[in-house]
Structure 1
Amino acid sequence: MKAWGAAAVERHEIEVFLALAEELHFRRTSERLGLAQGRVSQTIKKLERRIGVPLFERTSRRVALTPTGRQLREDLLPVHQQLLRAVDRAVAMGRGITGVLRVGYSSPMVAEVLLKAADVFRDRYPDCAVEVQEVQLSDPFGPLRGGRLDLQVTEHPVDEPDLTLGPVVISEPRVLMVPAGHRFARRASVSLEDLAEATLIPVAGDVPQYWLDHHYPRRTPRGVPVAHGQAATYWTEIMNLVGLEGGVSPACKDAERYYARPDVAWVPFRDAPTVDYGFVWPATTENARVRAFVDTVRAL
């Protein structure tokens, strides 16, 4: 395919030139483009012959742009980026990656990831808007089943016949939130067996029993009963029931960054599974928008 200019420069020559102008290293450029190093060198020499002047200064130690090379890069880079955006946009429209994609999350760590991915996604697919919103733990799948969300990232386990389970996005160590004055707060770590010595604060609402059993067990691994206290509908209620009422509740380690308070201590578990957050979406509504956004998050 012939491209810009009276010199009839090939498009692949432009791509090789821009990659080398960024990397300033022939081996890294060849690896980046999936080309043999000799092919990169030949392409640059051919381009320089077309233009009539050197574009790079080459020594045994370094590769640098000449003044002409710098000017050519400044002129070509925005044109090349515009071309790529145009192609991406055409592909996106062909695949149906348009309209509005509504994505849910149940924790602030996940929100960070999704918001960053949304920025990248909007840049790549400008005809598809992304709306990111919180999902309450007390109704983890209601917005998906009600059509208010297209997909979400939520805590595992998920075992719902009408929902498709996608890849894990975040995996975090599990900790136990305890009152700051509790004897557990003075320990370096706690065990799942220690839950028998405390009152566990569970989540209330339309939550699957298997999910509750996983995060808020009624018995320890050895079969010792675990007392349950008042159930909470919102995360802030859990924090209050721990800090002010003396209960305990599991959480992921990174949650402390967002919810730290002086009356709550965060003690690591030494034998508990990680808290895993993964994609889930209705099995009947998977589409190109969903797949493209999942791929964007995985790439990040």
Structure 2
Amino acid sequence: MEKREIEIFLALSEELHFGRTAARLFVSQARVSQTIAALERRLGVRLFERTSRRVALTPVGRQLAADVRAGHERILAGIATAVAAGRGVDTVVTVGLEAPAVADLAGEALDRVLRRRPGVDLRFVEADFADPLATLLRGEIDVLITNSPVDEPGVVAGPVVVQEPAVLAVPAGHLLADRSTVSLDDLGGQVVLRAGRRPPPYWRDPPRDWRTASGEPVRRGPAFATFQDLFGAVARGEGVCPVAAHAEDYFSRPTIVFVPFEPGSPPVTWCAAWRCGSTSYSDAGAT
């Protein structure tokens, strides 16, 4: 695969939308379509399932994306290290983001790192959405900014870097869409979707008879491997999903409404985490 093919394939595997992929890479939508079609012909296998309403990775495409992304990130890391050496940077710290927008939200904390250690260069990559800790444990990143709590053998749970309110993503036209706020009790009678997540202690399936505090039943929907899959399901009316408030700015679309949870509801907290024995985080000057 050539460099541009890799970039287009990986971007489409994340966006799952030809138009957004084209805009992200500053190419035409036709270029994206032609590149993927040519790649599938050469490999002799379909990488994406396309309909008029959605784009999804095939099982082969999903595996290829995981394999190619790992190699691509190692190449980019090697290039970044070489460039940093030429600029007099003595340490390159790769920061994985469970949600890319967190880099903006945590900007103040990251700026402190750079002020304390001008010889440190921070490089940002997107961690595995369904299992971000695996990216850290495999050594593909030095530091992970992820949802807390973090309770994992071999991983140090570091300080909170940002905290934000939660909102409920609902389809446009949903009975909650016109509300100024919602509460946890409003989940009663709803199908609640979720992002992919590790087994306990991070995610524990609710009891079969799952109810709100007021006694209303709640139905648990499936987990999703990407934000685009998750919000696509919400837009199609398959369920609702509590998400961090920044999602409204970064994933806004006419088919979804983001309704704030009422004051006093649990916030979404993002913390830093790194492998036990790793010096990368302390090298970066963040304490």
User: Which has the larger Rg?
Assistant: 1
Query: Does residue 290 in structure 1 map to residue 281 in structure 2?
Result: yes
CA deviation after TM superposition for structure 1 residue 241, in Å: 0.4
CA deviation after TM superposition for structure 1 residue 119, in Å: 6.8
Pair 138,272 (structure 1): closer, same or farther in 2 beyond 3 Å:
same
SS of the residue corresponding to residue 93 of structure 2 reads strand
Taking the aligned partners of 1:184 and 1:155, their CA distance within structure 2 comes to 26
The list of structure 1 runs, each at least 4 consecutive aligned residues, that deviate by more than 3 angstroms after superposition, is 113-129, 221-225
* Aligned residue number for residue 279 of structure 1: 272
Pair 113,273 (structure 1): closer, same or farther in 2 beyond 3 Å:
closer
* Aligned residue number for residue 86 of structure 2: none
TM-score of the pair, normalised by structure 1: 0.58
Taking the aligned partners of 1:273 and 1:155, their CA distance within structure 2 comes to 13
Taking the aligned partners of 1:294 and 1:251, their CA distance within structure 2 comes to 30
Cα RMSD after superposing both structures: 2.8
Query: Does residue 260 in structure 1 map to residue 264 in structure 2?
Result: no
Residue identity over aligned pairs, in percent, reads 33
CA deviation after TM superposition for structure 1 residue 267, in Å: 0.8
For 1:212-256, what per-residue CA distance to the aligned partner results, in whole angstroms no more than 9, with x for missing partners?
A: 3499x9543456442122321101111100011331001111221
* Aligned residue number for residue 32 of structure 2: none
Taking the aligned partners of 2:138 and 2:171, their CA distance within structure 1 comes to 37
Amino acid at match of 2:152: E
Query: In 1, are the aligned partners of 2:155 and 2:276 still within 8 Å (CA)?
Result: yes
CA deviation after TM superposition for structure 1 residue 274, in Å: 0.2
Taking the aligned partners of 1:247 and 1:112, their CA distance within structure 2 comes to 28
CA deviation after TM superposition for structure 1 residue 151, in Å: 0.9
Structure 1 residues without counterparts, runs of 5 or longer = 1-96
For 1:256-298, what per-residue CA distance to the aligned partner results, in whole angstroms no more than 9, with x for missing partners?
A: 111110110111112530000011111221x1x4125352xx7
1:212 aligned to which of 189, 193, 203: 203
Q: Paired residues, what number?
A: 196
Query: In 1, are the aligned partners of 2:99 and 2:129 still within 8 Å (CA)?
Result: no
Structure 2 residues without counterparts, runs of 5 or longer = 1-88
Amino acid at match of 1:103: V
* Aligned residue number for residue 166 of structure 1: 158
Amino acid at match of 1:282: R
Taking the aligned partners of 1:164 and 1:148, their CA distance within structure 2 comes to 16
Taking the aligned partners of 2:110 and 2:165, their CA distance within structure 1 comes to 26
* TM alignment of 1:6-45, pairs within 5 A: none
